[in-house]
Each structure stands twice: as C-alpha cells, then as structure tokens.
Chain A
C-alpha cells in the first residue's frame, strides 16, 4: 500500500510537471487545432466517404506522431532531468524506493498519454460525426430539386454502414493442398526431379553471385556438386522446393479458366440474425488484361436453407480494383459458414482470384466503440514508448535518450522491412555478418513491438474493427496457435505477448539500472 502511495505521488507530480512545462499543453493545442482544421477544411474530396477516410487517416496518424514525440521528449527528460537539475537529491532522500520512482514516472507519463489521446480521439469522433452529417453529392442534388432516389446514394450507404462502423474482415478458408503437394513431391522424388530442382536452385544462386560475368554452369558442374553435397544446404533447398510446390498448387487452384467456377468458404461467422452489413470485397487479376480493362463476373451463393445455389446477376468489374458487393445475411448457415462461388464469365482469359484478395466483411460494433478501442490500442503503444523513454532516461542524458528512443521508434515501425532485409539465404551457408545482422534485428524486435500493429489508422479508415481481444492481447500475454512443425506444435499452443510484456521488461531494466547507479556526480 505504501508502495502504491509512493508511486502515485510521483505519477501525480509527473503529470503536473508535464502540464506545467507547457510542452504537453502546446502539443495538445497543436494536435486539436490540426484535427479541427482537418475536419472542417476537407471540402475538396469527391465523395463524403473519401473525405471522411482522409480525415480519419490524417488525424489518427498525426495523433500518434505528436503524442509519440511528446512521450519521448517528456519521458526522456523525466529521470535524466531530475538527475541533471539535481532535484533528484531531495526526492532520493525521501522514503521512496528507487523502483517506486521509476514506476511513478512511467505511470505519470501514461496518464498524460491517456489525457492527450482521450482529447484527440474525442475530437476526432465529434468531427467524424460532423463530416457524416454533411450532405453527399446525391443529397445536394436532391436538395437542389433533382429527382433522384435516395436509396441509390452509394456514398451515404458507404459512410453510414461501412465506414462509421466496426466491421470484421475475413479471408476465405485456405484450400487443403496437402494431398496434391504430397503427390507431387512423391512424383518428383521418384523421377529424380527433386535433385534436379535443387541443383537448378544452386545454379541460379551461383549465377546471381557471378553478377555480370556469368559463365555457363551445368548441373554436373563440380561447384554445384560441392554445394549439393552439403546436407544443410540440401535440406534447406528441399524445403524451398516444397514451398514452391505449394505456392504453385495454390496459384493453380486460384486460376479460374473461362467458364469455370471457384468455391470460396468463410467460416466462424456470427448467426445470420446478428450479422449486419455483410459485404464481399474482391480484386480480380486477369492473366491477360482485356482491352476495356473489365471482366464479366458471376457469383452464386449457396442457400443454407435449401442447400441449393442462388445466382446473382452477372456483373462487369474493372480489373485490379477492389470491388465491393453487399450480401444478404441469410447466406450464413446455422454452422456459421458461408459458401460462395465465383464464375469467370470472361471468355478470353483466365482470372486469378487470390485468397488474400477476397474478404468478407460484417458489422460487429459501433464506430464510437471502435474509436475507444483504437484509442486504447494507441495508448498501449504510447505506454510502451513511455516505458522505453523512462528506461533510457534512467542512465542516459536527455539528448542521447531521445536519439535512442527515436531510433527504436523507427525500428518498431520498420520491423517487417528489417526482418525481410536480414532474412538468411536458404541456398547457402549464411555469412557471419548475415547471422549477426539477423540476431541484432531479432533481438531488437524481441524487445520492441511492431508499432504498425499498434496503429489503428488503417482499420479506422476502412471501418474495420479493432477488437477487445487485440487491445487486451497487446497489453498482456496470451496463447496462440503454433506454426506447424515448430517446437510449440507439440504442446498445441504458443505463448504470444504484446507490447505489455515488453513494456514490463523495459521498466524492469530501467529499475535495475537506476537502482545501481549513483545519482550524484563528481564534484571535487
């Protein structure tokens, strides 16, 4: 209890300090002015939907940026400022455990974040409602006296039902390709194709290393043979061949010939009476683009009541563009499954319908609730940033701590790119520097969360839900589904953790360092 009172005393002081220093107030003022400016000035967009999307994208992005900067600046000054100004002399002479002080500083910054984000998201919500209340082009024309049907106002429909909502997006079930892949693998092994595929991969690798001075390399080349004999390389390349096979099978499955159809299955859907705003989104990629850049498309829903199929009218869809098509909730069966078949009605080309290009969306909550969860998700990220800056501030000076935090922030945002950039080659033994780079990146990413995952901007713009499970999951440890063949597959679960655990780790390190450091400097 005493610890709680100590921590609260420091947290309260930190909050007061942040506001009295005027930096937080200035940033809050700038933030609100920008959000208000964005909300009230975006008149040029062609549709209400795009205006609202632009507002949500810019305002949520700016909120994260400015609150992030405020957190880093104030957090990095929190401890190092006290040490530098020697105000820590008085604090440390009071009955206050050093870890109380660190936790108090972090809690104060987190409360500041909550205040800033609360104000920003509340303003965003109010302005989003204001934009929603603005007339669409159809409504303007109706107001001018034109005879138009309000029910055909797609812009209004999109804004009210899709954007100002919280919807879940589901991809179709993956195809079961194991049987085909196994059969193909067996054939390759029997006919010696696997060896050949591996040797070709090695040749490809050798030629890529030779650069411009390529020399002809055959499958029997001694250099190829030497690499081939390396068991590690062979196993790695075999795995690559299997992945390629699976990819090939997948692509073949998703390639729809003229006049042919492809079934897509969505499962784990809510009951039909609870699913509103059901919408299918897809993007078609033709093998050969028609001259008019459109494709004739047909869709057929399976009726769960009768077991038969219900065709929808044929459509003409533009190529490589996301198409939206509303579906009736009755298409969801009692088992929570929806099946729909795509037909390629374009007579002259095959069409690629990739799983990741097809999404089924349905409404699960309100826009306001989604804003709240978005704010909380952002808050989790900012709380991590506060922990990180307090940690660095516990042993680095203000400018150095700021610099390190900014770098960490960049690494957190670029985590996917960094992992891809440092991926080890699978066709040869990795060089020492490559292993080192990968270890560094993995070490950093073990410590840093992916800030992209903690950013709700993309989902707000698409009207996609930020789930409670995700918010809580980011703040805690949970159990996920393990990857096949991994160590965790034997146990049936894999422990996963979000920013919360990393936050605790940062604070623990900060407390340990601060506990062991001297707070006064040499003055002799």
Chain B
C-alpha cells in the first residue's frame, strides 16, 4: 500500500458525464475511475481517441468539474491555486498566444508564477536554450511550426520547475527527431524526480517512458500496472546472438526440438526506421544548423537539475552514439535500446534493464531495483522451467556429451 504522502494525484470513483441542453445524460466520458499516481513515477494514460484521457487530465487541472467521485492533487482540490504552483501542463496542442514571441510567452507565464524579473529572464533564457529555440526567441509564436510550438509549450510547462508535470500527447505532430528529443527530455525529468502524467495513444511513447500505465477505453479503466506486469510474455523466450550460420541454426533448432520447444520464428533483426532517421539527421545537424529554427542543445535547464551548476550530459548525443557507430549488439546493448533494435528475436523483448534479462537467462538472482518494473517472484518461475534448455544452449550439453 503506497504511503498517502507519496500520492501526488489520486482519484476515487471519478466520473464525468456530459449532458445535453435538457440535462439528459449524453455520454459518460469518464466512469468510476480510481487511480493513484505516486511521487516520482511516470504514469501513462493510454487509450484510443475518445477514451477519456484528456477529460481526466482536464479534471485534474480543474478545467472541468467531475460529475461524481473525488480527486486530489497533492492532497488538495484541483482548483486550489497554491497547488498549481507545483504543476506544469503541456496540452495536446500548444495553445499559445500567437501574437507573442517565445521570449514574451515564457515571460508571461513566469509572471503568473510571480517570478521576479531577473529570475524570469534567467529561466526564459535557459528554457529557450533547452528546447532549442534561442535562435527564434523573438519570432512570433504564431509563425512557428507545430514542432516549435510544442517545444515552447514544453518550455512554459517547465517555467516553474514543477513537481508534477502533466503532458497530453506530448509528441503529437512532431517529427521523429523532435519526438525523440522530447522523450529524452521527459525521461531526464523523470530521473530528476518529477512526477509525470502522460496521456497518449502512441504506444511507443508510453513504452519508452512510463513506469505505470492505465489503459482506458470508453471512459473506463480497463487495465493498470507496471509495464513489466502488462507486457511480459512469460510463455516465450528470446535469445539475441551474433549472426548464426545454417549449421549452428540447425543445431539450435534440434536442441529446442529435443526439449520439446517449438520455434515460432527466426528473423534477422533490423534497425528501426526511427534509429536510421535519427542518425541521418544527427549527422546533418553536425554539419549545419539554422539559427531561425529549433535546434535542441540537449542540455537540461540548470534550474531543473538536481544539482544546479553541474553541466548535464548531452541527452541527444548519448542517445545517438550507438546508432551512429553500429557495432555488434550484446544482450545489454539490445535491452538498453528498449526495443529500438531487436535481436535475432524469437519475440520482441520486453523493456526490463539488461542486467535483469541476463539474470533471468542465466538463472542468477535478479537484481532488485526499486522501480515498479522489477519482476515479482511469481513472474520469475516460468523462466526456471526453461533452465535445461538454456544450459544446453550455453554448452552444458556439449560438455556432458564430451564426458559421455
């Protein structure tokens, strides 16, 4: 049971029913939703269009009032002004004043947080740097591309260094590079201890970022849990190795057949299109940048860092390094990519940390991580059942055969 102090957003039986002019019930946008978002976690609201994600977020923000149920943010009502000092919000589209430039936009929102002039100036500069809009800071937001508008939208959401960040479709309308940068930024913020609520119907985004996910459909909560709990396919095993020749592959199949295991598929892994795209754009950016468009520095704004003053790693650089210099992928490499580069897969791997995958495969004790992704003892059991096969694959059979 989570400590109540750690609950950032909690809803109990939250419902929102829209009525027509005659007050007849028209549609239940959200029905009996009970969720609890813990401090420091990235919580995803996943669902198709019209599933009630945005309505839930709007109720959390106090833009809509629940028809029934209870809702608390940091233990207070959603319309409490003081609570909003700890909150940052990026709506599904960046609803910005088109007549303001980026600098004025951030300055205005900084004023609403009662920041003094020097603080506003400092944060505005850093945020514009962070989202790569320094070169376009004095262009009107109305002239921005959608991607640039999303960036300035993200910057305004961070102007107050919020404890809770609510992001509605954060990567919608963005090109893959910008989307990747955004996801990196969100990941970085999560590592800094921010609580993040993410709403999206883009499964890849959720898979990349979320600790826990709630799946909504027709306004109702259909499933909730950690990605590990929701995604792991315990009945299958995936092995990633260097390219196998035909003989080795046949031997492998034979071993599996002897063990009574059916091979479902054997494939050569491919790069994801996203990875290829990122590599090309990254190379191009190194050669030339246009100051009038968005150029991400990959640097987290200083006031958002845990320890101000220390330079951050270039998030983008870090991400692109493996893609820019392809090399044979180790199991660690595969899992570190979290599904970006799939191995010679029997089945695409889930997203646990690479050490955990190895631990499972080699039957060594799993590293206990404090995150919600750590596997439960029950979920580890099916892996033990396959130990004999793994031993055989790792060469025990050969040893035994030799002894024999």
| Bind each other | yes
**Contacts A94-B109, A523-B55 given; does A87 touch B81 at CB 8 Å:** no
- On whether the beta carbons of B112 and A91 are closer than 8 Å, the reply is yes
CA distance A518 to B18 in the complex (A): 12
**Contacts A21-B99, A90-B91, A97-B81 given; does A518 touch B63 at CB 8 Å:** yes
Residue A95, interface by CB 8 Å: yes
CA distance A17 to B140 in the complex (A): 12
CA distance A345 to B18 in the complex (A): 84
Residue B87, interface by CB 8 Å: yes
CB neighbours of B138 from chain A (8 A): none
Stretch of A2-10, A179-187, A448-456, A503-511 lying at the B interface: A2-10
User: Could you say which of B65, B114, B219 contacts A6, with CB atoms under 8 Å apart?
Assistant: B114
CA distance A523 to B104 in the complex (A): 30
Most chain B beta carbons < 10 A, residue from A10, A21, A523: A523
User: Could you say which of A10, A86, A91, A522 contacts B29, with CB atoms under 8 Å apart?
Assistant: A522
Interface residues of A in 479-524 (CB under 8 A from B): 518-520, 522-524
**Contacts A89-B95, A93-B87, A96-B81 given; does A524 touch B18 at CB 8 Å:** yes
CB neighbours of A20 from chain B (8 A): 99-100
CB neighbours of A96 from chain B (8 A): 81, 84, 112
CA distance A224 to B180 in the complex (A): 93
CB neighbours of B65 from chain A (8 A): 518
User: Could you say which of B52, B54, B89, B114 contacts A90, with CB atoms under 8 Å apart?
Assistant: B89
- On whether the beta carbons of A89 and B89 are closer than 8 Å, the reply is yes
- On whether the beta carbons of A519 and B85 are closer than 8 Å, the reply is no
Residue A210, interface by CB 8 Å: no
Residue B97, interface by CB 8 Å: yes
Residue A85, interface by CB 8 Å: yes
Per-residue B-contact encoding for A295-322, CB less than 8 Å = 1, 0 else: 0000000000000000000000000000
- On whether the beta carbons of B114 and A2 are closer than 8 Å, the reply is yes
CA distance A48 to B156 in the complex (A): 60
User: Could you say which of B58, B61, B82, B95 contacts A87, with CB atoms under 8 Å apart?
Assistant: B95
User: Could you say which of A5, A13, A86, A88 contacts B93, with CB atoms under 8 Å apart?
Assistant: A86
**Contacts A86-B91, A89-B63 given; does A95 touch B97 at CB 8 Å:** no
- On whether the beta carbons of B29 and A92 are closer than 8 Å, the reply is no
CA distance A89 to B111 in the complex (A): 16
Task: List the B residue with the shortest CB-CB distance to A90.
Answer: B95
Per-residue A-contact encoding for B280-294, CB less than 8 Å = 1, 0 else: 000000000000000
CA distance A24 to B265 in the complex (A): 69
The smallest beta-carbon distance between A23 and chain B, in angstroms, is 11
Residue B277, interface by CB 8 Å: no
Task: List the B residue with the shortest CB-CB distance to A92.
Answer: B63
Residue B64, interface by CB 8 Å: yes
CB neighbours of B88 from chain A (8 A): 93
Interface residues of B in 46-65 (CB under 8 A from A): 50, 52, 54-55, 58, 61-65
**Contacts A13-B108, A95-B112 given; does A86 touch B87 at CB 8 Å:** no
CA distance A132 to B263 in the complex (A): 103
Residue B256, interface by CB 8 Å: no
User: Could you say which of B27, B87, B156, B166 contacts A524, with CB atoms under 8 Å apart?
Assistant: B27
CB neighbours of A16 from chain B (8 A): 99-100, 104
User: Could you say which of A2, A12, A87, A520 contacts B63, with CB atoms under 8 Å apart?
Assistant: A520
Residue B96, interface by CB 8 Å: yes
CA distance A520 to B81 in the complex (A): 18
The smallest beta-carbon distance between A496 and chain B, in angstroms, is 37
User: Could you say which of B63, B82, B108, B109 contacts A519, with CB atoms under 8 Å apart?
Assistant: B63
- On whether the beta carbons of A90 and B63 are closer than 8 Å, the reply is no
- On whether the beta carbons of B96 and A87 are closer than 8 Å, the reply is yes
The smallest beta-carbon distance between A180 and chain B, in angstroms, is 65
CB neighbours of B104 from chain A (8 A): 16
CA distance A92 to B18 in the complex (A): 21
- On whether the beta carbons of B55 and A95 are closer than 8 Å, the reply is no
Task: List the A residue with the shortest CB-CB distance to B54.
Answer: A523
- On whether the beta carbons of A95 and B96 are closer than 8 Å, the reply is no
Interface residues of A in 75-111 (CB under 8 A from B): 85-97
User: Could you say which of A10, A12, A95, A522 contacts B84, with CB atoms under 8 Å apart?
Assistant: A95
The smallest beta-carbon distance between A174 and chain B, in angstroms, is 57
The smallest beta-carbon distance between A41 and chain B, in angstroms, is 35
Interface residues of B in 62-81 (CB under 8 A from A): 62-65, 81
Most chain A beta carbons < 10 A, residue from B50, B84, B219: B84
CB neighbours of A87 from chain B (8 A): 95-97
Task: List the A residue with the shortest CB-CB distance to B58.
Answer: A520
CA distance A12 to B91 in the complex (A): 24
CB neighbours of B99 from chain A (8 A): 16-17, 20-21
The smallest beta-carbon distance between A183 and chain B, in angstroms, is 67
A-B contact pairs, 13 of them (CB 8 A): A5-B111, A6-B114, A10-B112, A13-B108, A86-B95, A89-B58, A90-B95, A93-B89, A94-B84, A95-B82, A95-B114, A520-B58, A524-B18
Task: Kindly list the 6 A-B residue pairs having the minimum CB-CB distance in the complex, ordered from nearest.
Answer: A20-B99, A9-B111, A93-B89, A94-B112, A520-B63, A86-B95
Interface residues of B (CB under 8 A from A): 18, 26-27, 29, 50, 52, 54-55, 58, 61-65, 81-82, 84-85, 87-89, 91, 93, 95-97, 99-100, 104, 108-109, 111-114, 156, 166, 219
Interface residues of A (CB under 8 A from B): 2, 5-6, 9-10, 12-13, 16-17, 20-21, 85-97, 518-520, 522-524
Given contacts A16-B99, A89-B89, A95-B85, 7 further A-B contacts (CB under 8 A): A20-B99, A21-B99, A92-B63, A94-B84, A518-B65, A519-B63, A522-B26
